[in-house]
Amino acid sequence: MTEILALPERIDAFSRLGILLSAVYNIENFQNIEPSFKPAIDSFRIEMETASRQNQWFTHENLRFCISAWAEAMTNEKLNKWIKPYREELIAQGQAHHVAVIMAGNIPLVGFHDFICTLMSGNYFIGKLSRDDNRLLPALSFLLGCIEPRFKKFITFTEGKIIGFNAVIATGSNNTSRYFDYYFAHYPHIIRRNRNGIAIITGDENKEEIEALGRDICLYFGLGCRSISKVFLPAGYDPARLFETTKAFRKWLFDHFKYMNNYTYNRTIFQMNLQPFLDNGVLLLVQSEAYSSPISVINYEFYSDMASLTNTLIADHNKIQCIAAKVDFGTPKVAPGTTQLPELWDYADGEDTMKFLLSL
């Protein structure tokens, strides 16, 4: 049986991985990297370029944001803060389990958090990649292997049927989750379904806060589960003001043909169905109670008071991934502009992945 790396060694390896990722786009950081790692970073850049050509949603801007965000998340300080509640269990851990991780491909490296949780918990990672994102994580794991070669025995990627696993973490749509529920019913598992990010406007937001919300709406073209797909507005608020959020992203969205194809398609459907909508040329606003919206569409709904809105959000918590809001209103929230910057301790669907892995 492969020896589990000591906890300080795991923390150090991922902290150094964060440093390498910080050098992917930053020339000054790259110059300060140990020379032996520079060829591996160059190879990672090539894989990123290939991934961008393979999946045109993975633009250079989105890849830069993703890599920079993970570099900022994996500092030694943040890694230690993250594992602090589990430290005693991690140190005392003996047996390593084989964890099958089935990943989505909606945004770059969307499965990385499950990857780091599995390895940091001292378990074997068996990755089933989406065809939409099948290059970035293997390339990143190669970087990790350059830092700490002993990790190589803990990492496997498979294109075929997954075998030899003890537990499962699977992420997919509401439809695929039914299959996952059936197939993995007899294994310890986490199965994730569709969730969406939402925002709450109070009417007191300043220009900077409204513009910050644009990052939550436009980054990754709205494809992430933390992307804002719906905005709650106070009664009487002019929904057209939401167009202010897209100013910084307007040209970027307009120049992306796949995004604009979706925009044109959805606008045509609304027109054919005589459904009222607001339009600024790159974004469509529709009044709807639905949380999920198509690419290029943001749903909005009016609320009369914060108490009733809070009750609605509590009742619908299983449809919501995160909430961007300026003020506290009784449920967890993040500041506008930060939905795509989760920390290591921000678990998808609010389910503690590390706790699950340590319970095996």
DSSP string covering 324-359, please? EESS--SS--B-TT-TT---TT--GGG--HHHHHHT
Q: Which residues, 6 or more positions from 267, have their beta carbon under 8 angstroms from its beta carbon?
A: 277, 279, 284
* Crossing angle (nearest 10°) for helices 7-22 and 112-120: 150
Considering the chain, what percentage of its residues have pLDDT values greater than 90?
85
- Give CA–CA dist 277/271, Å, rounded: 9
Write down the pLDDT at residue 110.
94
Residue type, 30: F
Domain 196-325 annotated CATH 3.40.309.10:
yes
Domain residue ranges of the chain, discontinuous segments joined by +:
7-193, 196-325
How many Cβ atoms sit within 10 Å of the Cβ of residue 68? 16
pLDDT of residue 177: 84
Give the distance between the most distant pair of CA atoms in the chain: 65
For residues 171 and 175, give the distance between their C-alpha atoms in angstroms, rounded to a whole number. Answer: 11
CATH for the 7-193 domain, from 3.50.50.60, 3.40.50.1820, 3.40.605.10, 3.30.750.24? 3.40.605.10
N residues, the chain: 360
123-161 burial, b if ≥16 CB within 10 A, otherwise e? bbbbbbbbebbbbbbebbbebbbbbbeebeebbbeeeee
How does strand 320-325 pair with strand 196-200?
Answer: parallel
β-pairing, 189-192 vs 167-171, is parallel
Per-residue pLDDT of the chain (360 residues; tens, 9 = 90+): 567 899 999 999 999 999 999 999 998 889 899 999 999 999 999 999 999 999 999 999 999 999 999 999 999 999 999 999 999 999 887 789 999 999 999 999 999 999 999 999 999 999 999 999 999 999 999 999 999 999 999 999 998 889 999 999 999 888 888 888 888 999 999 999 999 999 999 998 988 999 999 999 999 999 999 999 999 999 999 999 999 998 999 999 999 999 999 999 999 999 999 999 999 999 999 999 999 999 999 999 999 999 999 999 999 999 999 999 988 777 789 999 999 999 999 999 999 999 999 999
Q: Write down the pLDDT at residue 332.
A: 81
Q: What pLDDT shows up at residue 2? A: 64
Owner of token pair 């089935």: 102
Whole-number Å distance between alpha carbons of 151 and 339? 31
User: What pLDDT is stored for residue 91 in this prediction?
Assistant: 85
User: What pLDDT score was predicted for residue 3?
Assistant: 74
Q: Collapsing DSSP states into helix, strand and coil, what is residue 167? A: strand
Q: State the CB neighbour count (10 A cutoff) for residue 83.
A: 20
Supply the pLDDT for residue 92: 81
Round to whole Å and give the CA distance between 318 and 341: 21
Distances (CA, A) of 295 to 218, 282, 283: 10, 11, 9
Same fold yes or no, 7-193 and 196-325: no
**Rg (alpha carbons) of the chain, rounded to whole number:** 21
Task: Please report the pLDDT score of residue 174 as a whole number.
Answer: 84
